[in-house]
Amino acid sequence: MDIASPGRSQFLGALSLAGVMALVVGTALAFEHIGGFIPCALCLEQRTPYYTGVPVALFGALAAALNWPSLLARGALVVAGLLMVYGLYLGVYHAGVEWAFWPGPADCATSATSGLATDAGSLLADLDAVTPPACDTAAGRFLGLSFAGWNVLASLGLAAAAFFLATRPAR
């Protein structure tokens, strides 16, 4: 791609968006696998927009890099923005459940198996010993916000960035 090509700003924007999305979900995974925070079902669901959004944003970057029709790059950025709006909704819902503003799902349990044994002999005993976290209890608060609260801020910023990039004139 030529440095002065029309899709350069969309290429860099979409690539940056994908990188930040990967960083956000990677941080959540690090808190789980390194920090030992076992996610609840709503925590796991909040990762889905990121898992989907990263490849969508990368497609937008590819479309801009290969000078495909601008509609493809812009469309990918809009889809990434909509995914982050969905992530924003999930974060607000989960944070509201944690603050007891509204009830959470009745079946909120986790499918995470961090710390469980790998041999079949002690698996059932380990399953009885591990209590999955409830969705209405924050695993921790940092600067007054739970992980769900931080996801609200990240999703809001990423949605705004994606929509801004999608509507920005290509230079």
Predicted pLDDT of residue 4? 46
Q: What is the pLDDT of residues 42-72, one digit of tens each?
A: 999 999 999 999 999 999 999 999 999 999 9
Where do the structural domains in the chain lie, given as residue ranges? Answer: 8-103+123-167
Task: Please answer whether residues 42 and 97 qualify as being in contact, where contact means their C-beta atoms are separated by less than 8 angstroms.
Answer: yes
Helix-helix angle 48-65:70-98, to 10 degrees: 160
Please check whether the domain covering 8-103+123-167 is classified as CATH 1.10.3470: no
pLDDT at 131: 67
Which regions in the chain score pLDDT beneath 70? 1-6, 109-132, 170-171
